[in-house]
Copies of this chain bind each other. A is one copy, B any other.
Amino acid sequence: MEKKENGVDGKKSGRVVDGPTNPMVTPLLNDLYQFTMAYAYWKAGKQSERSVFDLYFRKNPFGGEYTIFAGLEECIKFLANFKLTDEEIDFVRDSLPGCEEAFCDYLRGLDCSDIEVHAISEGSVVFPKVPLLRIEGPVAVVHLLETPFLNLINYASLVATNAARHRFVAGKSKLLLEFGARRAQGPDGAISASKYCYLGGFDATSNVAAGKLFGIPLRGTHSHAFVSSFMSLDEIVDKKLRSSDGKSSCEDFVSLVQTSLTKIQNSSSSSGIFSETNKSELAAFTSYALAFPSAFLALVDTYDVMKSGIPNFCAVALALHELGYKAVGIRLDSGDLAYLSTEARKLFCAIERELKLQDFGKMIITASNDLNEETVDALNKQGHEVDAFGIGTNLVTCYAQAALGCVFKLVEINNQPRIK
């Protein structure tokens, strides 16, 4: 266990610890009973008695054999900046029946300079019944840390563990992308999910705020709505695209895409796979490629993956290739991911060979349809060609087990052992 310096020591040594990431994490993010108890301790003259509390859990989540400890940094940020504002103290006074004014003075003077925290390093693999944190200090103050600490650690550790389990199943070589913002339990369910999934072994997130706050790599391309918002290639007005090296310019990228589609259509690689593709989808892909020629990754399942999405994608990728760009790949969001990814890979490789397009077969195949540990495991057993998994709901809400039950127990007061 390493010893974390508390607020005052931190200041003494010239270090200033920022406040919690979420400004809503204040001393009032607390169960009322922490304040009623603080008041009762204070009334009894016991508020400064030296107490020791342990924070631990009793059982690993997800029926597993380990837990990843997370949330410590936010606890330290909270602790180092612990201070009740006058407005908060007024609210506490009004919430405690018969609260004496002198207690408000006591609260006004409170900080955590007298608190000592011993903790396991954030990100460690931890086990049941082993204290993750040991908090020592005046009993009334330590009580005021219980609810915020549990709140900051329970979900953080749960979702980091969930991420680590997904990494374990997916294997080291796969890209794991956290796509949970829309289904997370509230705004910072989303933001902390992104943070702790990254800690737990994910590579990137779709959540822009988390990217900005924590420097986590961002990923994302387009949705089905983008595809269906286009009607036809005629909508595309600005058809010009400069080549990758900037030396030349294609005046009509739309025509180049159409020519490429015919090439793909006539290639032996794709013989018999498709006849006519969806033109709204082709227009969407073409537009997207015009916007991001160096980062073209298309969602190919809006209409029919093999008969429309993949051929349209290949046409645009081929057109980009002629201008010196390399398309990034595709995303599959429905259907039989094992089969579709395998078929897509076969076609990419066949086109690479037939049309002599270097690396065309190596394009990234992303899958993202309501995935979880079990479905990734099942895909592995079936065999697939997916390079990247985008995982949302099941990851961030910890659907398989939505809570970790960390507890905060008094173990000592005034050097006397006190275990219930």
Q: Are B37 and A182 in contact (CB under 8 A)?
A: no
Contacting residues, chain B, for A231 (C-beta < 8 A): 416
> Given A220-B33, A287-B40, is A150 in contact with B182 using a C-beta cutoff of 8 Å?
yes
> Given A188-B188, A189-B185, is A97 in contact with B294 using a C-beta cutoff of 8 Å?
yes
8 further contact pairs, Cβ within 8 A, besides A29-B187, A185-B402, A228-B418: A33-B221, A35-B208, A36-B292, A41-B287, A44-B238, A146-B223, A151-B181, A225-B410
Contacting residues, chain B, for A188 (C-beta < 8 A): 22, 24, 186-189
> Given A98-B292, A147-B181, is A33 in contact with B223 using a C-beta cutoff of 8 Å?
yes
Q: Are B187 and A24 in contact (CB under 8 A)?
A: yes
CB distance from A89 to the nearest CB of B (A): 11
Total copies of the chain: 2
Residues 337-356 (chain A) with a chain B CB within 8 angstroms: none
Q: Are B91 and A212 in contact (CB under 8 A)?
A: yes
A 1-40 binary contact with B (CB < 8 Å = 1; else 0) = 0000000000000000000111111101111111111011
CB distance from A192 to the nearest CB of B (A): 5
Cα separation A22 to B23 with both chains bound (whole Å): 8
State whether the Cβ of A270 lies closer than 8 Å to any Cβ in chain B: no
Kindly identify which residue among B31, B98, B139, B295 contacts A179, using a CB–CB cutoff of 8 Å.
B31
Q: Are B185 and A29 in contact (CB under 8 A)?
A: no
CB distance from A404 to the nearest CB of B (A): 8
Cα separation A192 to B188 with both chains bound (whole Å): 10
Shortest Cβ distance from A236 into B: residue: B44
Q: Are B393 and A397 in contact (CB under 8 A)?
A: no
Stretch of A45-53, A107-115, A117-125 on the interface side: A45-53
CB distance from A137 to the nearest CB of B (A): 13
Q: Are B182 and A185 in contact (CB under 8 A)?
A: no
Q: Are A43 and B403 in contact (CB under 8 A)?
A: no
Q: Are B40 and A187 in contact (CB under 8 A)?
A: no
Kindly identify which residue among B41, B91, B150, B302 contacts A183, using a CB–CB cutoff of 8 Å.
B150
Residues 136-177 (chain A) with a chain B CB within 8 angstroms: 139, 143, 146-147, 150-152, 154-156, 159
